[in-house]
Structure 1
Amino acid sequence: MINNQQLLAIIIRWLFLHGIALIIMFVVKPGIWGATGLLLASSAVSTGLSIVYLRRSRQVNFDIEQDHMDPTLQIASQTLPYMRRGLNEETARKTAEIIQKIADVASVAVTDHETVLAYIGTGADHHKPGGPIITKATRDVLVTGEIKIVLDSRELNCPMKGCPLESAVVVPLQCKGEVVGTIKLYRVERGEVPPTVVKLAVGVSQLLGMQMELAELDRQVQLVTKAELDALHAQINPHFLFNTLNTIIMFSRTNPETARRLLIRLASFFRHALKRHGHFNSLREEIEYLNTYLVLERARFREKLRVVRDINEELLEYQVPVLTIQPLVENAIKHGILPKPEQGTVQVTARKIDSEMVIIIRDDGVGIEDDRVNDVLRPGYGSGNGVGLSNVHERLKVLFGEDYGLRIVSVPGEGTSIYVRVPLLHGTAEKEGKERETQSADSGR
């Protein structure tokens, strides 16, 4: 764009050149002085107008480019900080506010599968955030996963009489190929929805879906890191260590040889726990780790605890996520067997079913109440130290997919079974020293 300094330089050059031309014309042809002056004056006016036009046109073009930036990109840019945090009421409300501000629509709504997460604009008196989805059009989009354009209020089918909304475009919000919600742009005019609004809705839903996928990837990375840190900290369970040391002290008075063996087992347990494994161990190593833990627990609980193993030896060199089996057995002992007055049994089974390894931890303890079965897999549920069920559950889903979390079957008063499915991953785990056979918990007594 021409600035003031450049404009002054142009004017000075113009006056200098045209002044020379005027002197030459006056000397050569004095009779045409008046015509020459008129010609130069008109040239000056024309040049000045051209400069003004150029300056204004450059400014106008610049302003037009700013004002007519693609609205989809504007929305994507402004919603990025929110949607990267996932889809919830707060991020949905911020997103809806941004969309309505930029798009030429009466109102904007964002939903998940069941709830209106955010609603901004006309009709907010009855389309309230936090309430259930009330329009048939939205429910149809959630089922089909296809865009729906509503042309009149009858097709919109809002159950509230007097609803001012007449037309809308409803588009699915998809994350990793699954419909997780909808975005709805409403109008108060009946009839065809302008193509620009439809295009905007589709573009926004695609970009927001990408942002949610990035948020999910971030969450999974953070989850794996947090799970590993939680697992490392929980491996050194202070209650377990305190109780085991008390048991060893007791045996040091009555049976020093047993106390010595338990100390060796305790050292082995923590050596394995603190060794850096990555994500996977062989089933053989996990069973050995479990056996070391059970030796220590059997020394403490004696006849109170009975353990049965049924391990398919063909699976011993297959890979399983680290700290998968021992935490589940610890949970069965602590919450299933110990509250039971009489002796209890924990059974550990590993079987090959098709292309998967299925591990079952079953106890005949007190069981879990029906209304608490789902809660025990919720992060942060319960108290106490150790690698909890939710930790194992979340790590399995992150490593193998949503279908590979824990499955719990429990009958109050009869016991609990926890099922773990792992794809068959064959590999030879590194061994320190010669290969050891899987040892039973009783061998350390």
Structure 2
Amino acid sequence: MPISALEMVTIAVVVLAVASLVAVIGFRLSRSRDLGNDADRATYATLHTAALASKYLRRGLDPEGAGKASRHLRSLLECDALTLTDESTQLAWDGPGDPDTAFVMRPANKVLASGRTQVFRRRDLGTGEQDAADGLAGTGGADGNTAGSLSLPALREAVFAPVCVGTRVVGTVGVFAPHVRAGLVRATNEVAAWVSTQVELADLDSSKNQLMEAEVRALRAQISPHFIYNSLNAIASFIHTDPARARELVVEFADFTRYSFRRHGDFTTLAEELKAIDRYLLLERARFGERLQVSLQIGPEVLSTVVPYLSLQPLVENAVRHGLEQKDGTGHIGIRAHDAGPYAEVTIEDDGVGIDPDHLRSVLGGHAASDHVGLRNVDARLRQVYGDDHGLVIDTAPGAGTLITLRVPKFQPENQP
């Protein structure tokens, strides 16, 4: 039976409706696959907010970082106001009004002293309602209101939780709300524990940098007594027989010691480190003469690679002092640096007396006293900067010489010379 025009229109409308429904369902399903359900999205939002706050706490608890982090922490807790303090003063406030330090530190000091999370009601926050109003009113009027912000009575309760590094309380997180309930107390505790972790990491970074500086000082101390004494003796021997050579060596000695005892920067370039090695070997050749033979094979593409300051020279000094100085006859040192994909690979090889492998393991592990302090310190610094996979690789045996290999990343935007 032929279909009427009305029936055709009806069928077309139904088809379009079904197609639209399918499209809407498909879009929602695709969005669901992309963003997950409500719980997934809430988890993502929480982690993202925490990540935003963490970058401002990398230097520990300081006013600038705390001020920026507090905005994100307040958003994380969905509270009306949030404050961060250290052991003595308020560092940041995010919320209505502009409270004075005394108002915030009254409850903070109690938590700093006890080391426990505490809830404070309105009567606990000041000696009376007017004292609390004076503390939070800021630029507001006599009723304690601040233009465009919450009224003071909305902030009549607070919870403060300690920020700890180890067993020491170093600050507090304070949260203000109309009513502090158990859920907010638990959430504040978790945020304070998270802030504690960030501060501990900042302290660890600081300790790591201090350790690296101490190890550099140890390397300098190793250079100064032995090398300086021998270099000055070598220079003195040329003063009467070859004054021009003596003057040249004095200049090289001055340049080397200036580099070795510089006070700025933990990193340098491979080119600068090799230049210091060249000066060092020039001075040592003045002492050893033809007994010391050196060969270099340096790829120009790795010269700009950033390396820890004084990471190569101590290895060469180890080869001279412990490899060749104790050997009869001529000794050879080979220094090579070449491209190895994402790394620059450097090897320092000598044909000297070698080291007992068991003793070397004890030295590198810090379990044995030794003159090889340079090897241990360089190995420790490389592992601290690049990870345990980037320590020194040493092949040696008594009477078989020593081959030292190190690999450093060519791309290091975080490390600048």
- Taking structure 1 as the reference length, the TM-score comes to 0.47
- Taking structure 2 as the reference length, the TM-score comes to 0.50
Q: Give the greater-gyration-radius structure (CA).
A: 1
